[in-house]
Amino acid sequence: MSGTEAVTATRRAIDTLALLLVMLAIWEVLHRIAGETALPAPIETLSYLIRTVPTPRFAENAAATAEAFVFALILAYGMGLAIGIWMGAHRLSGAVGEPILVVLYSLPKITLYPVVLLIFGLGISGKVAFGAMHGVLPVALLTMGAIRAIPPVYLRAARTLHLSPWQIIVTVLLPAALPEVFTGLRIGFTVTLLGVLLGEMFASKAGLGAMVMNAMSLAQSQEMVTVAIVLFAFAAIANALLFRIEHRLHRRVRD
Amino acid sequence: MTRVGLIRLVVIAALIGALELACRTGLIDHRVVIAPSEMASALMALLASGSINADIERTLGVIAVVIALSIALGFAAGVIIHALPRLREALDPFFATYYAVPVFIFYPVLIAIFGLSPIPIVLIGVATAIVAMIIATLNGLDRVPRVLIKVARVHRLGRLATALTLQLPAAAPYLFTGIKLSVSYGFIAVIAAEFILSPAGLGRDISDAYTDFNNRRMYALILFLLIIATVVNAGLHALDMRFAERRGGART
């Protein structure tokens, strides 16, 4: 049984690899059509990537992005969980607040970027605020949904045991809601990264987003594509890891 | 109005009122945020002057094209990929990570290729919005109950008749989710692209007003975009509710 599973897994990996090669081929063809300045050749860009990533200049920008991202993530998770738990546990607040959160979630928050800049200025706080603003809503909405879906009998049991509100949150609500909450955290992770990068693209002198904009104004397409690939790889790997944890949590609850 | 709706209205009114008060009393500097009433009056004046009509037309037009292309092509791609399980398995990891990656990071590359025109904006918009539609189409086709296909076979329906009368309605709720997502991704991508670099459009207008310290104009434009996005989303939500009601009604 596991033998055939391994065979399908290898086949799938080979298919995905083949698809990657097809994409590289398309890239090469586009390069031939668009020309060197617009879209550099894949091989040259990859060698540029290997040369550029270890340089201090790249490391500094990556560190700037990472710093802003960590702060934004802490804010988004903290506020999102707080709002989600509150609105999930308190029925009236949830009923009043949910549509407001949904509307805010679907708004193109990018429009508010100038406002964030005016309030927080050009430095790291603007990036952090913009990232947190994006991440807080999915975390809050999914946490709220998860807490609402907890069977009421758990809460009744908690009340019979005279648990304090804090104990109820830590020992009953969070463990029962963990898989769903984690889905929110995973989505919040990617959306926050998106917000931070957007912030860097519009108004920042440091960070990977700023590097892309800088490369664009100097028409350095190799650098542009290099940063894009690094970000792509980071987001893809992080997402795959979080996805795997989430999967395991869901399975544990079902068993 | 229900009690909950009333409370919600009061909460929103209180928030706007608090902002108004904070701006009027100088607690919030008018160079940072202007009073909501001022935003509204500035928007009225701007709309009455007609000076932004061309930009409204351009931006909303591009968004409409992006959404239409994403939905049509995304649906078609979803149907094709669903029919090819091996391709789908190979694509799965890409779909799973697609929205984890800031796709618009490739917008500058597209500008380098196509120049400053609406084409790169449309392309980056479609690239952002289409995948949501593809994923929704795949989900929808997955959830078509097998029994429906059997029913079709019993009734000797052709491929097309099966698709139109059974598969499409059964997948409809998922398709609608894809449409909603495509709409919101379309808005975000187009406005983001206009912010980054664009010869015209509302996003460009806002960024110009910001650099000119023209807060009245900037807040008026922001308010306009937020109202449009909210109206569109609310409309889609209402449609969704009506569909859900009808489905619920049909079942009982």
Q: What is the pLDDT of residues A107-160, one digit of tens each?
A: 888 888 888 888 887 788 889 999 999 999 999 999 998 888 888 888 888 889
pLDDT at A154: 87
pLDDT at B248: 67
Arithmetic mean of pLDDT over chain B = 86
pLDDT at B62: 95
User: What is the pTM for the complete model shown?
Assistant: 0.83
pLDDT at A28: 86
| Cβ atoms A246, A183 nearer than 8 A | yes
Arithmetic mean of pLDDT over chain A = 86
- Mark whether A85 and A123 lie in a shared domain: yes
Which letter, b or e, does each residue of B203-232 get, where b requires 16 or more Cβ atoms within 10 Å of its Cβ? bbbbbebbeeeebbbbbbbbbbbbebbeeb
Identify the closest residue of chain B to A230 by CA–CA distance. B101
Identify the closest residue of chain B to A13 by CA–CA distance. B90
DSSP B110-161: HHHHH-SSHHHHHHHHHHHHHHHHHHHHHHHHHTS-HHHHHHHHHTT--HHH
Q: What average pLDDT does this structure show over A21-38?
A: 81
Those residues of chain B that have pLDDT short of 50 are 250-252
Residue A11's identity, in one-letter code, is R
- Mark whether A7 and A129 lie in a shared domain: no
- Mark whether A104 and A164 lie in a shared domain: yes
Number of structural domains chain A divides into: 2
Q: Is B12 on the interface with A (CB under 8 A)?
A: yes
| Cβ atoms B59, B191 nearer than 8 A | yes
pLDDT at A255: 57
CB proximity under 8 Å: A 98-157 to B = 99-100, 102-103, 106-115, 117-119
- Mark whether A230 and A117 lie in a shared domain: yes
First to last CA, chain A: 21
pLDDT at B251: 44
pLDDT at B88: 87
- Rounded distance between C-alpha atoms, residue A35 and residue A218, angstroms: 17
Q: Give B169 to chain A, closest Cα distance, Å.
A: 26
pLDDT at A1: 46
- Rounded distance between C-alpha atoms, residue A215 and residue A61, angstroms: 13
Question: Domains in chain B, please, with CATH?
Answer: 39-251 (1.10.3720.10)
ipTM of the complex: 0.77
| Cβ atoms A237, A243 nearer than 8 A | no
How far is residue B6 from each of residues A103, B3, B80, B106, measured CA to CA in Å?
17, 5, 47, 45
pLDDT surpasses 70 at A54: yes
pLDDT surpasses 60 at A82: yes
Q: Is B41 on the interface with A (CB under 8 A)?
A: no
The CATH number for A236's domain is 1.10.3720.10
- Mark whether A33 and A44 lie in a shared domain: no
| Cβ atoms B204, B212 nearer than 8 A | no
pLDDT at B245: 80
